Amino acid sequence: MDTGATAMFWNRRYGETEIATDSRLKALLAKRGVPVESFSARLLNEPWEVRNQSGKPFRVFSPYSRAAMARPVAPPLAAPRKIVGGQWPEPALAGAVSLSDLSLQPSSPDWAAGFDRHWTRGENAARRKQAAFIDNGLHGYAENRDRPGLSGTSRLSPHLRFGEISPRQLWHAIAAAQAEHPELGRDGNKFLTELTWRDFSYQLLFDFPALSRSSHQSAFDRIGWSENTASLKAWQQGMTGYPIVDAGMRQLWRTGWMHNRVRMIAASFLTKHLLVDWREGEKWFWDTLVDADPANNAFNWQWVAGSGPDSAPFHRIFNPVLQGEKFDPDGAYTKTFVPELATSPSRYLHRPWDAPEAEREAAGIVLGKTYPRPIVDHAAARERALTAFRLARQNGA
């Protein structure tokens, strides 16, 4: 080999194409007499390590979680004291380009111009965020994580996604905090369950490689998904007329991230209120989320749509008004990202169409002008979705 390498090491990947690429590379290097070793770094447990009593993959999270959390989690290894870099030979440098030449950051246009106010890349930033979460955010996490107007989540998902911090590091840091502060037991366990959910999504991706392309439950391939591109565009732009949905979609576009509870509300709205194929939402999130993950993203979309293994039932259709009133009662989140409603009375914030005209005028809200009217009626949309699902199941019977 041009580089003079005598061995190759890398961390494992779990997508269908990634596995195929790595397998071909291993075979090629083996023919050249170069030993290859791959390691587990992205997950707490490898997908093939947590199986049911029949040796088959779990399809339901609860038993998977019990089995996974009963296993010891290997502690992270200490960082090497010193890494000595080799010299690249001239033939290997002939086609080299500079990092700036790769144009990894957007410039024309710079659609991520505002992201730096919210995210700092790198391992040091990930460690700082972990420490801040444990010190200030872990207490009350079990409840606060559902309140988008609070700083109730860790915001570590982008760092996990790009390997800037490992789930094992997080696991042991949380466990250490629980040992020192027993009152953090429930909150810490909830966070560890979220890490286990992440592993579960990778197990599903490993065993069902088409997770982002095909509905796991075939009935969903018979649903007459809407082809209304105007509805899809209104959802993407945060102009649906439902404040909590619009706040989430605008947060996504502005910051590259969306609060987890609001992700579920927005995903439910797209697939059930608008009856748009979940794959359209999965693609949009993949293109816009800084933490877009091939396993989590696909599985969570199928979970909300009801088409995946261990999914929320299709008849669970979030009412975006009630969700907004329950999880953002004071409007701290919604008013931040939907400033047109900043002066709306809280009791009408999530249903501005119900506010008396005089109160809307006083708040400067003109439906259809300053803020859109709802693009779909909740009750009618719910019935349409339930009918579509029933027909799909009957047609497959």
Q: What is the pLDDT of residue 62?
A: 95
Element (H, E) at 229: helix 229-237
Q: Which residues of the chain are modeled with pLDDT < 70?
A: 1-2, 396-397
Q: What is the pLDDT of residue 2?
A: 67
Distances (CA, A) of 344 to 63, 82, 115, 147, 357: 45, 58, 28, 20, 12
CA distance 272 to 245: 13
Q: What is the pLDDT of residue 99?
A: 85
Structure tokens at 292: 């877009």
pTM above 0.85, yes or no: yes
Beta bridge partners of 39: 11
CA distance 197 to 384: 31
User: Residue 212 half-sphere exposure, CB side, CA atoms within 13 Å?
Assistant: 20
Q: What domains can be seen in the chain, in order of their start residue?
A: 1-41 (no CATH), 115-207 (1.25.40.80), 218-395 (1.10.579.10)
Q: What is the pLDDT of residue 123?
A: 95
Structure tokens at 326: 């329950």
Element (H, E) at 38: strand 36-39
Model confidence pLDDT, tens digit, residues 220-255: 888 989 999 999 999 999 999 999 999 999 999 999
Distances (CA, A) of 312 to 130, 264, 304: 30, 11, 6
CA distance 189 to 196: 10
CA triple 239-244-250, angle to 5 deg:
50
Q: 389: helix, coil or strand?
A: helix
- Who contacts 214 (Cβ-Cβ below 8 Å, separation ≥6)? 221
CA distance 71 to 343: 51
- Who contacts 259 (Cβ-Cβ below 8 Å, separation ≥6)? 148, 153, 248, 251, 333
The catalytic residues are: 194, 197, 225, 260, 278, 301
Inter-residue contact 307 to 267 (CB < 8 Å): no
Q: 82: helix, coil or strand?
A: coil
Q: What is the pLDDT of residue 397?
A: 45
Inter-residue contact 173 to 134 (CB < 8 Å): yes
Structure tokens at 392: 């799909």
Inter-residue contact 209 to 164 (CB < 8 Å): no
Q: What is the pLDDT of residue 40?
A: 93
Inter-residue contact 200 to 64 (CB < 8 Å): yes
Sign of the alpha-carbon torsion through 162, 249, 201, 187: positive
